[in-house]
Amino acid sequence: MTSIQNMLLVVVLITNLALASNSRLGTCINLAAIQGLALGTLPLVIGFQRGMTVELVAIAIVGLSLRGILFPIILRRSIARSGTSRELRPIVGYFFSVAIVLMLIFASLWISIRIDFIGSSLLLLSTVGLSTIFSGTFFIVGRRLAIMQILGYILLENGIYCLGLAFVRDIPMIVELGVLFDAIVAVFVMSVATSKIHEEFEHFDIQKLDSLKG
């Protein structure tokens, strides 16, 4: 099952790079959904290696439902109501975004190698977790549109979850479900907020809100 686990982790890295290079919001949401499905499947693969438990199955089902289905549906409805299909002028251009995400992956690998209690079997898992956290943070600060910033938040949560799998052998189900509940509330609230922003100002560009006067 190690090869399947590694394949899923490589899919996460590829989706991070693809998100950095893509301007179409619909495609970015699809990429985030693919990443969510890969991470949702990961507990099942780990369960086959360490021993399947009810907690792992429950975490996988909830993760697949939220990251792979519900979050994309919420975001697709937001862009459907707005009519916005792509981000044309990000704060950081797409070429440099890909270069930055690549550097973040190598930096995450460098950090993971220097963590004493991470063995070779968990090196890729730790690298993917750290790089996804860093990539999510980069999307939050490097994109203008609120939808892309929400995707950055989702990536940030995905990375924290992936890093937890690397550092904690058995994640308590109540902890993981609590994190996912926080994520769904945050995504729902942010999607409603972005819809209101578009209704009032007819754009998703957060940078333009800096010009508002109190």
pLDDT band at 76 (very low <50, low <70, confident <90, very high): confident
**What does the pLDDT read at residue 208?**
54
- The Cα 200–Cα 143 span in angstroms is 20
Predicted confidence at residue 30, as pLDDT, reads 94
Partners of residue 24 on adjacent β-strands:
86
Name the pLDDT band for 17 (thresholds 50, 70, 90): very high
Q: How confident is the model at residue 184 (pLDDT cuts 50, 70, 90)?
A: low
Quick one: which of 45, 36, 44 has its CA closest to 63? Answer: 36
How far CA 150 is from CA of 13, 63, 139, 185, in Å, comes to 19, 17, 9, 12
- Rounded CA gap, 109 and 32, in Å? 22
CA 85 to chain centre: 20
Burial 52-66 (b: 16+ CB within 10 A, else e): eeebbeebbebbbeb
Instruction: Measure Cα distances from 7 to 151, 153, 191, 198, 209 in Å.
Output: 22, 24, 31, 39, 41
pTM metric for this prediction: 0.82
Cα-Cα-Cα-Cα dihedral sign, residues 119, 121, 127, 128: negative
